[in-house]
Amino acid sequence: MKALEQTIKYDADRDREFPRQIMSRPGGEKLFGCVQCGTCSGICPVAAYMDYTPRQIMALTRAGFKREVLSSRTIWLCASCYACTVECPKQIKITEIMYALKRLALREGVYPKRFPVAVLAREFFKMVRFNGRITESELVVRLFLQTNWLALLKTWRLGINLIRTGRFSLKGEHMKNPDALRPIFAEGEPKLRPRQPRHPWEDMES
Ligand code: SF4
Ligand code: SF4
């Protein structure tokens, strides 16, 4: 009975537009061709660290479990190695689907709290959008402050060495006319929303 209740509740959470959204993105067209063979999960070098395997991500996406997919760590752990895409017997472009999911997660502000890859992607995009370029030192500081500021204190010596040897610059980088890029971003890239808690009580937990 408990399992039945959970199934009904879960079914109500489905977003039937979600798979259509992903299928309309380049690479997502064959999503429904997935036969759940698990080849992608078997070959993925980082599957052991994911909360859902690539096969599960395909199944959840197809079934419309948008929140679970977009807030998963899996899409941010994907290293874009393309091994799954090469081996998929149904020629599904799994890596491109992972990219589409990441873009949607940023646009909807649904991603794991303080997870460095998601924060890095968001801050990288923001800097490019506003300056046309990134300033590595500023990007690293923003990343640490939003994820683990204690790690910034622990790595200060490394930072000084990188600056001293010219590998890391404090000079702010920007294009002469970053406004020229704005129409491109307005056309093709998502507007970034602040992160939304996965559950209403999540932010109270930390
Ligand atoms: S390898 Fe392709 S068909 Fe098999 S589970 Fe992964 S996505 Fe689906
Ligand atoms: S592209 Fe991503 S999901 Fe596919 S095998 Fe590589 S790391 Fe895993």
CA dihedral of 178, 180, 185, 188, whole degrees rounded to 10: -150
Predicted confidence at residue 96, as pLDDT, reads 97
CA dihedral for 195, 125, 190, 68, sign (positive or negative): negative
Pocket test for ligand 1, best of 30, 31, 35, 91 (most atoms within 8 A of CB): 35
Assigned token pair, 98: 């992972």
Question: Which residue ranges form the domains of the chain, and what is each CATH number?
Answer: 14-108 (1.10.1060.10), 116-187 (no CATH)
In the prediction, which pLDDT does 70 show?
93
- What's the pLDDT score for residue 180? 84
Distance, C-alpha 72 to centroid of its chain: 9
The ranges of the chain with pLDDT < 70 are 1-10, 187-206
pLDDT on residue 148: 87
pLDDT, residue 205, reads: 40
Q: Residue 34: nearest ligand to its CA?
A: 1
Task: Please tell me the predicted confidence (pLDDT) of residue 94.
Answer: 98
Can you give the pLDDT at residue 110? 87
User: What pLDDT, on a 0 to 100 scale, did the predictor assign at position 168?
Assistant: 82
Residues constituting the chain: 206
User: pTM for this one?
Assistant: 0.75
d(CA 75, CA 204): 25
201 near 162, Cβ under 8 Å? no
